[in-house]
Each structure stands twice: as structure tokens, then as C-alpha cells.
Structure 1
Amino acid sequence: MAKLIRWVGIIVGLLVLLSILLSVAVYMLVDPNDYRAEIETAVTDATGRTLSIDGELSLKTFPCCGIRLGALSLSNPPGFPDQPFASIEGAAVSVQLLPLILSQELHIGQVELAGLDLQMISRADGTNNWEMGGATGAETEAEPDTADSGPGEFGVAGVSVSDGQIAYRDEATGGDIRLSDINISIGKVALGEPFSLSMAFNAEGLLEGMKNAVSLDTDVSLDLDAGSVALENLGLALDDIVAKGWLRIPDMDQGQIAFDLAVDALDADIFLGPPAEEPEPASEAETTGDEPLDLPLQDLRALNIDGSLGIGELKAAGATLTNVKLGLVAKNGLIRLNPFNADLYGGSYAGDVQLDARGQKPKVSLNDTLSSVHLGELLTAMTGESQLAGIGNLSIDATTTGNTVNEMMGALNGDVSLSMDEGRYLGTDIWYEIRKAKAKYSKTDLPEEPENPYTDVTEFSGSANVTNGVVRNDEFTAGAPFLRLTGNGSINLLTDALDYRLIARMVGTPEFGGDEGLGELEGIDIPVDLSGSLDSIDFSIDWGGIFGSAIEQKKEEKKEEVRERAKKKLEGLKDKLSF
């Protein structure tokens, strides 16, 4: 055993010595600058571009052989700017000799790129400057593949990119994206084995009007034969937004993407940019609703996605949703969000949203439900204020189609139902308004105006049918203290026209510390006509007719009461006279 160990030590020592001697020999006898012209010519033949090696080439000889490059650049193709397409400030690569000599295994050491600069341009005609083409001339016949034509194994110890930048310009859209401070680290790479990938950069233009810090850490699996890529143990950060999970592309030729990601918190409002300025009246008039929606139908039809997304807290349109679960399936122009569940403001949301982009006109279907949501909190979060409070329920089952907003509105069909418990309408005291109107009619003192007016809503429910953009409601009921409301009518979503009638009936007589004659209204129907548009609702109530009818009715009731009493007295007197 001791002899075996001794011989192994001698062999290893000789191999190390041989490596050192070979490295010294290469360093002394080979000057890589002698091959500068050959390298530049080979790259030109392969790409049709000009490679310029500006810096000196130097050899690395121990512990492995390699080469270190100075500044170099690769030109743009003809028809693009004279500036280089790609350039680096310096690079280094090494090859381990012993595995190559002993077992024909190509082991590349650390590959280093410093100051990488890519200038990418996409033209309106579809051409770009990153597709490579060979130089014109006769093509060389490819050598036949043989089992012994190259190294048996291939590997790279790692790759690092430091202080890089990438600029991308889309001349068709005018979009510009700039990535700066790019730093990339790739772990050991071997055929058929996953490798680690870490990168970080700053982005400008990736999201409109925003600058973002982006980082990525993941394990990458590549299958070149199957054309698949998988990112496992994925950690992706965009500023303060962190997503974890996995992303897989089973077949890059098919463009299919599968993912399962979880995000702790996401503020979707920041991606919408600053609020748009209020348009001038003239520009408002220019918007008719007949403008094309310009949906990217071709891009939507090309989507091939099957993914799941979970968000702990999502902020959208000012509202905050928690425990969001979203499933996304898109294939052949059919895109579906299902399940789409979330908790919000004491209640929950469950939705099933589908977009069909297969035809000339996109079709949308909605099947959404809000359950036990605190409406006051929701409306305040979305608009900054709310006149309505209560626990609301809403369900929508509808479909539509069209290429403009007006087409979508005119083709809307479906059913809607809503209800509310423990409601309160802030800003209006319905009984104060009734008492004030009656006092004006009776020419008596007006009641004292409440400091914080409100009306309790003890009951609220209704349903509607939507046909070609016209919402028709025939089943509406609501209640307030000593009042019952019913209603029916329609709203034309295309023209914004409102035609609705509410009937209010007083049940019982409220007490306000004095005799205001409100008992005269008990059992009287009070019609309230609503017209105009949703933005400017006109109320029409014939208070004079109501109070006059109520008083006349009470007078008639009083006269009838007097007649009955007189009749009874006459009958009693007649009975006495008959004896």
C-alpha cells in the first residue's frame, strides 16, 4: 500500500511538473498577437462583421493555459450606425491542460468579461442588428461528424460579466430600454447539469417612465436536444417586489411558458405611471367611444402560457386585496383567468374572466362575485371618499364583443344582482328632506338641519337583466326607517340615458319632538322620477301634489268619520223614538 501511494505521488508530481513546463514553453515560444489578423478574419468570415482587437493579447500559463484580451469591438451590419454593435473593455479565458491531455475532456476555467456594451436596434421593417450572417463567397463543405472528432466532455468553471450595459431601441414604436451596471455570475457549467445564475442591473424604460433595480438568482437547467429551459429555485426582485418559485419553457420552438410564482406584496398602481392630467373640454369632445381599442390580437393569439400566481397583498386602483390566487391559461388566442380569488375589506372576490381573441372581434366573458364586502372601506380606498357604507354582495355574469368601447357597450348581455346589509347613506337625511318639504308646503317653520346628515338603509336588494347594453331592473326593494322603496326602470350604457322611477311609501310615523303632521303621509306613495345621465341625475318629485293629496285624503277620511258618527247617533235616536 505504501508503495502504491508513493507511485501515485510520483505520477501526480510529474504531471504537475509537466503542466508547468508546458505552460512555460507556450509562454516563451507563442505570442498570441501573431494570430490577431487570423482571428479577425475568421470572425468576419463567420459573422459578416468586422472584429477590431485594439488591446494586447497575453497568455496565462499557470495553473492552466489561457488568454487575456484587451479592448475589442464587433461592428454593426451594413445599414446600421457606424458605432460598434458590441464591445468589451477586457476579457480572459483559460483552459485546463491535464483533462484535455489525459481524457480528451475540455475543461474551460473562469471566463471573464469586463465592460460589456451592447447596442441593439430593431427597425420598423423587422430587421435588426443582432442576427449574424456569414460573409459572401463559397461555402466550405462541412466535415462529417465522428465519435472521436472532439473532446468527450465539456465544462466551464464559471462566467462573470462586470460593469456591463445594454441599450435597446425599437424604431417602430420609438421605445428605448437601457440596462446599466450589469453584473452576472454563472457557476460551473457542464453538459446535462444545472448551473447557478445570478445577475443584477438597473433598468430604464423597462417600465414606462420608471427606473428599476432588478436582480435574479436561480438554478438553470438546459436541454439542448429538447430545446427546453427551466429556472428552478427562482428569486426575482424588481425594486421592492420579490417573486419566488419556478419558470419553465418546455419547448422554445413552441414558445410555451409554465410558471408557479409567489409574491409577498405588489403595488400594481406604480406600473400605471403618474395620473393623467384632466383633458381640456375640446379634447373630451374628440373622444366618442368609436376609437379602435387596438388590442394586439396577433400577440395574444401567440401566447402559450400555463401558470399560477399567488400574491400576499395586492394594491390595484387604490384598493387592497389579500391572499390573491390567480391561474392563467393562454393558448391559440383563448385567454382565461381562473381561478381568480382574493379577500378584500372583510369579504371576498371570486372571478372567472375570459378573453377570446381568435376572431376578428375580441370576446369577453365575466363571471364575478363579491361577497360580504364592506363597501364604505372599499369605495374610500378607491376614490378617497364614500357616501355609502354597508356590507355588499354583487354578482355579474355577462358577455360582450367588439373592437371599440361603443361596440363593447352595445353588445353587453347578461345578468346582475346586488344586495346590501347594515347600510347607511352619508350626506343626506331623507326624513329631514321630507320634513323640510312639508314645512315649505304648509308654510310653517323649517326643521333644524342635522349637523351630520345620514340615512340608515335597512334593506337593499335588486337584480337586472342586460340586453344589448341596456340594463333593465324590475325588482328593486330598499328600506329606511319608516320608509319602504320599490323601483323599476332602465339605464342605457351606450347613451348613458337614465329612465327610472322609485316609489317611496311611509310605514308608521317617526317622532321628532313635535306634531309636524307627518301622520298625514302614512300610506301615501311618493313617486321619485330619475332621468338624465349617470353623471348628472335629475330628480323629479311633485311634493305639492303629494302633500295636497295626502291632506285631501285626510280631510275625506275626517268627513267620512264625522258622517259615520252622525249616522250612528241618528240610528240611536230613531231607536229611542220608536218606543
Structure 2
Amino acid sequence: MAMAKRIGIILGGLLALLILVVVLVILLVDPNAHKGRISELVESRSGYQLALEGDLGWSLFPVLGLDVGAGSLAVDSQTDPFLRWQQAALGVKLLPLFSGELQADEIRIAGLQANLQVDAQGHNNWSPQVAAEPASAGSAAGGDEGAPLEQRLQAVTIPLLMVTESRFSYRDQTAGTDLQLTLDRLRLKDVQWQDPISLDLEAGIQQGPDLTVSVTLESQLSPRLAEQRIVLDAIKLQLKLAGLTPQPVPIELQAGGELNWGQGTARLNLERISLAQLVLSGELTATDLNQSPRLQGQLDSRKVAPRQLLTSLGLEPPPMGDDVLRHLQFKSRLSGTDERLLLNNLQLTLDDSTLTGQLSIGDFAAMALGFDLQLDRINLDAYLPPSPAEEGKDGTSGDAPAGDDQLLPVEALRQLNLAGTLQVGELQYWQQSARDMRIKVNARDGLLRVEPLQAELLDGALNGSLRLDVRGPAPQMTTRLDVEQLELAPVSSRLMEKNLISGRASLLLDSTASGNTTDELLRSALGELQLNVAEGILHGVNLNAIVVDALRDQLRRVEQLFPNYQEYLPRQLQEDTDISRLQARARIENGELIMPDFAFYTGASGIDAQGRVDLLEQAFVFDFGVALSALERNKYLHGARWPVHCAGQLSGAPADWCRPDLSAISSILKQAAGDALKNKSAAELGDKLGLEAEDQQQLRQEVQDKLQAEEERAKRKLREKLNKLLD
């Protein structure tokens, strides 16, 4: 007992002496006197320039602590510091040290400012230019230096780690990045490296001048240092994005996950992600994080009303029908690396339409987009603004681009990098359906190709291609369309706002054009057009009726030469022109569609035609030569082509377009009447000669035949007389 008592007294005395020494050191030694030495030590060991501008202070009991006032850190004395702070305090509890236990007290850092920059040459402002001196062998050797990290940290406990009123700035001129982070509060409670750690974060992020994000994060972190992983539970993240939309976008995330740096893997279980009214869930898994990161996962969304979603974001829904934008839902598998991303097994449902297939970004740096998509059906009419007929009855379209409006976003097309195929089962547009559409698109370096462009539409078939070159100062467009058995009525009524022509048409178009306005494209267009129409009707215009009406007046004046002409002319004609067959070849140049010569048939009558259409002014001029089968039986009018002149605006009334060429018709009738008079005289002379001749030509032929017959008869009689004399 006496020995134990003596030992206790000795140890107590030593402890008292130690405390006295520490107190005397704290009272008598001013740490501020050693700022220079501390800065030199930091520079020699790390290469950084440490500036301790504020006061240094320490405390003893119950916490052995150190207070550091304002300071900064720079790579050298010639550059601005990249790191500053206003106040830092840390310490350890004194008494547990005597039992070999390290219990840290609160660690607080306030006013931390980091300014990280990368210039245009790729040099940063936080890497020192001078290499640090290597640590001495003695300092490198420690009693437990070889112990695993988790064993060294097991005894460390920090009740609170707090960082407040801090700001981080990162600018990279090579990447064009300008990121600002304001850290209002970062709080870690009960940091023990073996039990869950409470995380509380409140911060703000600014990207450029417009985009700002406020961040609130709560979570439980469970370090598993022996397994080289950390588990994150009960993650609650709240974001508010401002600058992308008129109204800030609220985003909430509830998740759990795990990071295993030993195996290079990470897992995130997305219990719920809400973006305004859009709610997602899924899971993400990353592997090979230490070398070639790979990502796999699944994302699903709940049904959402797109119209309400847009309204909640402060966006005005586009003008369209009330029965659309009712619900949206999607799901997809995803996979990728640090260079590319693939969305496969994609299924997106919008109202009554379902899109399936895959989307990909083949190269993040080049933004190479790829797709292979199948759309079952869609009614585009329901998603378009009201038609002009619904907005007003003036027959004009307020949405039609003016002749000098720019049609194509040239700069965006030059940057476009995509390749893919879209197939559509059924598409409704202009109240007409197209089926089995297939479009293959390839765009890169300002050159866009669409080939093939296939569809079954308007009871016909379309097969074509499109080439758009925007590499030069003006877009260059090459078009090839092959259409078979297309129903014309829907196209005519839509483009010309009236049903001008109906029937079935086949056409072949090859054309080139340059420019970025309607006028430029039409004026520069060059190409050929082949058109075939079968069983068609030209509505509102009857070329036969125009000719018949004109002939009734003209033939009445010479009725004695053409008796009973009324029996041959149709008494009643319809208002339209039937087209039994039409074949035309046209060329496109100087803003005009030129048709030098084509023919079509209406019933048994043929019509010759030529003319041109001014594509810029939407005007036309055509001259028709109409053959009336009813008058073909009259030998004086057989083969006659009755001229009709048509001209006007395509937007005009068809009844005002065409007029007969009365002067030309009169000339034809005069010629026929003259022939009739001559033939009448020939018939009278034939009667006197005993010949049955109806016209001059027939009379001349019969006279010649009679003379030849008389000559033969005279020769025969002469031979008979000679034969008698010789006998």
C-alpha cells in the first residue's frame, strides 16, 4: 500500500508538473512569434506560400486547442492566393489523451474562399512550381505508421465539423467553365469513422451569369474503412434551379447508395426524384471507377400531365388541341461510359402515342447523337395550332413564312451530329394518314442526308431523298421524289385552299436549289418534273364548254355552210373538265415551272397545251388546243384545235381563268367556210360534167380519172383498127 501510495503521489506530482509546464508555455510563449517559422516549414515541405495574417491562439483545459485567424495560401509570392480563410479553430480534449484516446473537439472553419483558375494554356493557379523538400527519414518513421488507416482512425471522434460562410470559384478558359459555389453551411456531426455520420449541407451554385442552383442536403454517412467503402442512407436532396425557365424549377431527391473505392464501384438507389410535377425512380450502378468507368441503370417515371408541368415551370403551353398533352410517361434502361451514353429499351408514351427503341450519345465531346426509334401512331393535327380556316375566313395563313423569312437554323445545322432511323406506323397530318413511314437521317459537318424517305400516303407511295448542305454561305438543297398513285384532291385543297384538281397522279421530281428563304429557293431552283394523271377532274373549269359556247355563236353566222351543227354540239356540259389521261414533262428554272408541250385527254377528245407557272408570284399562263370529238365527223372541221387561253393567280376563282381565243376560232371557221364554198362550187361543176364530186380535190381526181379512162378507151379502139388492117 505504501508503495502504491508513493507511486500515486509521484504520478500526481508529475501530472501537476506537466500541467504547470503546459500552462507556463501557454502563458509565456506567444505562438504569433513563430509565424515566420511556420510559413518557412510549410514552404519547404509543400512548396506553398502560407501567409498567417491573423492572430494565433491556443487553449489548454479542458480542450487543447488552436485558433488560427485570417490566412491565405498561394503557389508563390508573385501570384494571388488561391485559398483564403477568416477563422479556423480545432482542438482535442486533454484528459482522454492521458489514456491514449484521441477525442477531437469541434472543428470550425469560417470564411473559406477558394479561387481556382485554369488559363487558356491549361496552367492552373494551385500547383506549385517548385518541388517540396522530401521529409526526413526520422519524421517519416512512426510507431504506428504502418498500421492500417482504419485502425489509426478508429479512436478518432469529432463531435462537430462545421464550415460556414465560404465561397469557391472555378474558372477554366480551356473548357469555358465558370462555376461559383457558395457554401452557407456544411455540418458533420458525430464523426467517428465507424458509426453513421450526420451530414447537413446548405449551398448555392452559379453557372455563368444566368443559371443558379440552391442546394440543401441531408444524409447519413456510414464509413466502412476496413472494406474501403462508404454507405449513404436517407439522402434527402433539394435543389432549386433558376434561370432555365421563367419560374424556378424545384427538384427533390430521396435515395440511398454506396461508394466502394477499393473495388471501384458505386450504387445509387433512386427512391424518388421529383422535378416540379415529374416524378422518377430507378437505380444506377457504376463499375471500374478507377480506370474506365461504366454506368448501368434503369429510370422510370410516373404519369404526368405535360400541360400542367409546363405551367408549373412558368412556360406557356403551345397552342394546340385541348385533348393533347394530357399525360406523359417513360421508362428506359441506360448504360454508358465517361465518353458515351445509351438509352435502350426506351418506351415513351405521350397521350395515345408510344415511342420505343433506343437513343445514344456516341461521343460526349462531339455530341454524336444516334437513334433507332419506332412510333406506333401520332395525330400531328392535334398538336398543331388551329388552321387558318378556324382562325379566320380570309383564306390566308398567319403562320406561313414570308418570302424573305429565314427558313433554316443554319448554325444549329452546322453543329448537328446525328445518325439514325425513325419508323412510324401511322401519322395523321392535314386530316390525311400516312402509313409505314421510314426515315433515315445522317448529319455531320454541315451536311445532312435523308435517305430513304419512304411512306404510304394518300392511297399512294412515296420514295425519295433529301440532301442539305449548309457548309457554304448559302444552304444547298437537292431533292428527289418518286410518287406513285397519289390522290390529288387533299393536296390541292390544302395548298390552294380549294379543290382544284382530283384524281391520281404519279410524279418524278429531281431538283436543286440554294438559299434560306422561300424566294431564294424558288428563284434558284433547277430541275425536271414528270407528271402523269389518270382519271382526274379539273374542277371549276370545263375547256370543252368554253369552246362549245364560243362555237355556238360563231357557227350561227355561217349556218348555211354547216347545217345542223346544233346536232353535233353537246347541249349541256358539266362545270368540270374530265381528265382521262395526262402526261407532262416540265423543267424548273428562274422561279418558273415551264411546260413547253404536253397533252391530255378528256373523254375521246384530246387537248394540246403549253404554258408556265410563276412559282414566286403564284401565277400561271397556259394555252390549250381543244379537239371536240363531236365535230370530228365534219370534214371541214376535222382535226381542228380550238384555242383557249388561261391566265391568272392560283388563289383566284377558276371560273375567271380561261377564255376562248375568239380571233383564232374565227380564223379556223373562216378557213373551213372557204373550203366549204370551194367544194360547193366543185360539186356544181361535177354535176355539169356528170361527176359526183363533193369538193375540188375529189372533182380534180375524178376528172383526171375520166381523162385517163378516155385515153385508154381511145388507145384500145386504135389498136383494134390497126389489128383489122393488118389482118
Structure-1-length-normalised TM-score: 0.71
1:105 alignment partner in structure 2: 229
Cα offset for 1:498? 3.2
2:243 alignment partner in structure 1: 120
2:204 alignment partner in structure 1: 74
Task: Tell me the distance in 2 between the aligned counterparts of 1:283 and 1:237.
Answer: 32
Of 29, 45, 50, the match for 2:182:
50
SS in 1 for 2:471: coil
Percent identity between the two aligned chains: 20
**Structure 2 CA distance for partners of 1:292 and 1:49, relative to 1, 3 Å:** same
Matched, 1:469 2:599: no
Matched, 1:181 2:277: yes
> Which amino acid in 1 is paired with 2:419?
D
Matched, 1:367 2:480: yes
Q: Which moved more, 1:257-266 or 1:423-432?
A: 423-432
1:166-189, Cα deviation, whole Å (9 max, x unpaired): xxxxxxxxxxxxxx3021213142
1:199 alignment partner in structure 2: 301
Of 440, 462, 470, the match for 1:349:
462
1:34-86, Cα deviation, whole Å (9 max, x unpaired): 44x42x456757864334469x999999x99464769x5526579669xx732
Cα offset for 1:353? 0.7
> Which amino acid in 1 is paired with 2:240?
D
SS in 2 for 1:458: strand
Cα offset for 1:247? 1.0
Task: Tell me the distance in 1 between the aligned counterparts of 2:397 and 2:346.
Answer: 47
1:91-490 correspondence runs (5 A): 92-95=218-221, 100-109=224-233, 111-113=235-237, 116-121=239-244, 150-164=261-275, 180-191=276-287, 192-199=294-301, 202=306, 203-204=309-310, 205=315, 208-209=318-319, 212=325, 213-224=327-338, 227-275=339-387, 289=403, 291=404, 293=406, 295-379=408-492, 386-441=499-554, 442=556, 453-490=575-612
8 Å Cα contact 1:228-1:250 kept in structure 2: yes
> Which amino acid in 2 is paired with 1:337?
V
8 Å Cα contact 1:112-1:161 kept in structure 2: no
1:430-451, Cα deviation, whole Å (9 max, x unpaired): 444444444455399998766x
8 Å Cα contact 1:319-1:382 kept in structure 2: no
8 Å Cα contact 1:161-1:182 kept in structure 2: no
**Structure 2 CA distance for partners of 1:468 and 1:426, relative to 1, 3 Å:** closer
1:512-542, Cα deviation, whole Å (9 max, x unpaired): xxxxx99975432211223344444743313
Q: Which moved more, 1:563-572 or 1:304-313?
A: 563-572
1:20 alignment partner in structure 2: none
Q: What is the RMSD of the two structures over their aligned residues, measured on CA atoms?
A: 4.4
SS in 1 for 2:489: helix
1:525 alignment partner in structure 2: 641
**Structure 2 CA distance for partners of 1:380 and 1:540, relative to 1, 3 Å:** closer
8 Å Cα contact 2:295-2:337 kept in structure 1: no
**Structure 2 CA distance for partners of 1:310 and 1:77, relative to 1, 3 Å:** closer
Task: Tell me the distance in 1 between the aligned counterparts of 2:234 and 2:494.
Answer: 54
**Structure 2 CA distance for partners of 1:520 and 1:314, relative to 1, 3 Å:** farther
**Structure 2 CA distance for partners of 1:186 and 1:57, relative to 1, 3 Å:** farther
Task: Tell me the distance in 2 between the aligned counterparts of 1:320 and 1:432.
Answer: 36
Q: Give the count of matched residue pairs.
A: 484
Q: Which moved more, 1:364-373 or 1:231-240?
A: 231-240
Task: Tell me the distance in 1 between the aligned counterparts of 2:575 and 2:352.
Answer: 43
1:88-108, Cα deviation, whole Å (9 max, x unpaired): 5xx5544565xx345223344
1:506-517 correspondence runs (5 A): 506-509=628-631
Task: Tell me the distance in 2 between the aligned counterparts of 1:58 and 1:508.
Answer: 106
> Which amino acid in 1 is paired with 2:611?
G
SS in 2 for 1:245: strand
**Structure 2 CA distance for partners of 1:252 and 1:457, relative to 1, 3 Å:** same
1:389-438, Cα deviation, whole Å (9 max, x unpaired): 22210111000112433222221111011011122234445444444444
**Structure 2 CA distance for partners of 1:150 and 1:548, relative to 1, 3 Å:** closer
Task: Tell me the distance in 1 between the aligned counterparts of 2:393 and 2:199.
Answer: 60
**Structure 2 CA distance for partners of 1:278 and 1:356, relative to 1, 3 Å:** farther
Cα offset for 1:235? 1.4
Cα offset for 1:351? 1.3
8 Å Cα contact 1:268-1:315 kept in structure 2: yes
8 Å Cα contact 2:484-2:507 kept in structure 1: yes
8 Å Cα contact 2:600-2:608 kept in structure 1: yes
Matched, 1:560 2:679: yes
Cα offset for 1:475? 2.8
Cα offset for 1:275? 3.9
Task: Tell me the distance in 1 between the aligned counterparts of 2:524 and 2:485.
Answer: 30
1:269-294, Cα deviation, whole Å (9 max, x unpaired): 4554334667999999xx973x3526
Cα offset for 1:121? 4.6
8 Å Cα contact 1:160-1:183 kept in structure 2: no
1:142 alignment partner in structure 2: none
SS in 1 for 2:408: coil
Cα offset for 1:162? 4.3
SS in 2 for 1:560: helix
8 Å Cα contact 1:111-1:159 kept in structure 2: no
8 Å Cα contact 1:106-1:151 kept in structure 2: no
8 Å Cα contact 2:636-2:676 kept in structure 1: no
8 Å Cα contact 1:363-1:400 kept in structure 2: yes
**Structure 2 CA distance for partners of 1:434 and 1:189, relative to 1, 3 Å:** same
8 Å Cα contact 1:507-1:523 kept in structure 2: no
8 Å Cα contact 2:446-2:471 kept in structure 1: yes
Task: Tell me the distance in 2 between the aligned counterparts of 1:157 and 1:268.
Answer: 39
**Structure 2 CA distance for partners of 1:428 and 1:155, relative to 1, 3 Å:** same
Task: Tell me the distance in 2 between the aligned counterparts of 1:520 and 1:454.
Answer: 28
Greater radius of gyration (CA): 2
Question: Any unmatched runs of 5+ in structure 1?
Answer: 1-25, 124-128, 130-148, 165-179, 511-516
Task: Tell me the distance in 2 between the aligned counterparts of 1:503 and 1:386.
Answer: 24
Larger RCO, structure (CA 8 Å, separation 6 or more) = 1
8 Å Cα contact 1:524-1:550 kept in structure 2: no
1:214-257, Cα deviation, whole Å (9 max, x unpaired): 43311111212xx1111111112334332110111121001101
**Structure 2 CA distance for partners of 1:155 and 1:572, relative to 1, 3 Å:** closer
Task: Tell me the distance in 2 between the aligned counterparts of 1:58 and 1:279.
Answer: 72
Task: Tell me the distance in 1 between the aligned counterparts of 2:189 and 2:651.
Answer: 76
**Structure 2 CA distance for partners of 1:399 and 1:531, relative to 1, 3 Å:** same
8 Å Cα contact 1:376-1:390 kept in structure 2: yes
Task: Tell me the distance in 2 between the aligned counterparts of 1:252 and 1:400.
Answer: 34
2:20 alignment partner in structure 1: none
SS in 2 for 1:407: helix
Of 213, 217, 220, the match for 1:85:
213
Task: Tell me the distance in 2 between the aligned counterparts of 1:432 and 1:496.
Answer: 26
